[in-house]
Structure 1
Amino acid sequence: MVRANGITLHTQRLDPPGPAAAGRTGAPTAVLIHGMASDTMASWYFTLAEPLSRAGVPTVLYDLRGHGRSERPATGYALDDFVDDLAALLTGLDVTGPLLLLGNSFGGTIAFGYAARHPGRVVGIVAVESAPPVPEWMRRVRERLARVAARLPRDGAVTEIGARRGRVAAQRAAETQRMLADTSLARELPASPLPTAEALAAIGCPVLCLYGGDSAVVELAPTVCGLLPQTRVTVLPDQKHTVLIDRPEDVRRLVFAWLAEDCSLDLAQPTTA
């Protein structure tokens, strides 16, 4: 548990094992940022965290404010608050070198927001089913949060989710309902001040965007490439917004190939988590 930006954040740090760490003192630190509402750092922990660490990349995961085991203040859920949390967490962990930021869904938006403020520190961004904080993406976030906030309090909604998707999904839905009831997230986040297009376009590091072919988020790929022409886009056919969880082996393969080809990182081949 790390005190950062006035709250306590639940954090996991995976340092490379001895053989993988040898000769990799200059490797960037990978920071894995999960998505909004029903997600936690577990989605990264069980998919990519250990393979990155075993390949020699120091790896940091954390639960966003209000999520998982991190503190849940009643207010403070604008994009800037999440970016401030990340900056303060890195200071608290004494992570001072280059960063490789990986974000799932809204976690990718936080990564872009951090890179817009600190372009010199970020050497690569992986965004899974995500986009930079541009107005069209934030409109979709607002609509999604509004739908969830309206649906979950209805009688039988959580039970229905459990019947269709299982016990864990029901538990996450119930926790999401509590979070939206106890915090200003659904109001604050959509109203966030956004970085300027010029600040986002100044992000010069390599970018990898992974999308599910059956997800509506893939519609934003042309916007991302227009803003950041160095972006490599890969679409996984027949996949939805949960591509990180549903196709972890493919995500690992694509990320490691991109790290070698676009970021010039000589890493061991990914291993099964």
Structure 2
Amino acid sequence: MGTVTTNDGTSIFYKDWGPRDARPIVFHHGWPLSADDWDNQMLFFLEHGYRVIAHDRRGHGRSSQSATGHEMDTYAADVAALTDALDLRGAVHIGHSTGGGEVARYVARAEPGRVAKAVLVGAVPPLMVRTPDNPGGLPIEVFDGFRAALVANRAQFYLDVPSGPFYGFNRPGAEVSQGVIDNWWRQGMRGAANAHYECIKAFSETDFTEDLGKIEVPVLVAHGTDDQIVPYGNSAPLSCELLRNGRLKSYEGLPHGMLTTHPDVVNPDLLAFVRE
């Protein structure tokens, strides 16, 4: 574990496990979480001989609670600072939700040789919010509601999200895990309220259409069809259409947080793609 300091003085916390000469896999977490959300996948890939790296986005987890930079251009620049500092080459970048947007923006701009493949899991691209050009998106009122709930009672909001739609625990017959809910709350509450508030705009209103079109490396787009946070129909299939070398993997009935609820299903598919 360590930190990297960006050009504006922000300290980015990261974990770095495994052999330094092994192929690196970099994990990008969702809102409002931290690198800890990837513990299962990091241990899984570590067992298979990979070098695994995950960072806390600025304003999240153990990274600096910066006053500025809570938008995708800076998020991608922070990733570039990390990959440059660790001199990562031929890496696989895997992003979940907001982290998928971060991956798209970073990979589209990465130096040649830095990235070999990418994976977008339950990811926000191409664009979440409804616009005239994106009629299938979610109304801005949805995201205004997120902001209002965060301001009114962030601690309660960060219990309501994982208890309900994030992991599909609001579905009939769902096996609810209080530990998973508490861990989501723990990660979220460690971050900065201002960063989380501004990140809602970043993940919902950033248009990744041009980024996806620029990416030349192979990209796996994995998404649960019962994703209540980033609806399947307006995300994964559209991203694949924009990618030059994209592959869609749909998981029937699985939720937004399927990496946590169904790692036994998803992890082997990620490994198979990385090994190709």
TM-score range, shorter chain: 0.7 to 0.9
Q: Deviations over 1:180-208 (max 9, x none)?
A: 346762576269775662x5313111111
Selected match of 1:76 from 69, 92, 105:
69
Residue 28 of structure 2 corresponds to residue 33 of structure 1: yes
Selected match of 1:201 from 213, 224, 231:
213
* Residue type of the alignment partner of 1:237: E
Quickly say closer, same or farther: Cα 1:224–1:8, change in 2 above 3 A: same
Partner residue, 1:105: 97
Residue 109 of structure 2 corresponds to residue 117 of structure 1: yes
Selected match of 1:9 from 9, 12, 21:
12
Residue 273 of structure 2 corresponds to residue 258 of structure 1: yes
Question: C-alpha distance in 1, partners of 2:138/2:65?
Answer: 24
Any conservation in 1 of the 2:127–2:204 contact (CA below 8 Å)?
no
Any conservation in 1 of the 2:90–2:116 contact (CA below 8 Å)?
yes
SS of 1:149's partner is: helix
Gaps in structure 1 of 5+ consecutive residues: 265-273
Any conservation in 2 of the 1:34–1:63 contact (CA below 8 Å)?
yes
Quickly say closer, same or farther: Cα 1:226–1:178, change in 2 above 3 A: closer
Question: C-alpha distance in 2, partners of 1:167/1:187?
Answer: 25
SS of 2:192's partner is: helix
Post-superposition shift, 1:151? 1.6
Q: Deviations over 1:107-146 (max 9, x none)?
A: 1111111111026321111111014454759975966543
Post-superposition shift, 1:171? 7.3
Quickly say closer, same or farther: Cα 1:124–1:187, change in 2 above 3 A: closer
Partner residue, 1:158: 156
Partner residue, 1:270: none
Any conservation in 2 of the 1:158–1:170 contact (CA below 8 Å)?
no
Query: How many residues end up aligned between the 2 structures?
Result: 249
* Residue type of the alignment partner of 2:119: V
SS of 1:10's partner is: strand
Gaps in structure 2 of 5+ consecutive residues: 132-136, 164-177
Partner residue, 1:228: 243
Question: C-alpha distance in 1, partners of 2:31/2:25?
Answer: 19
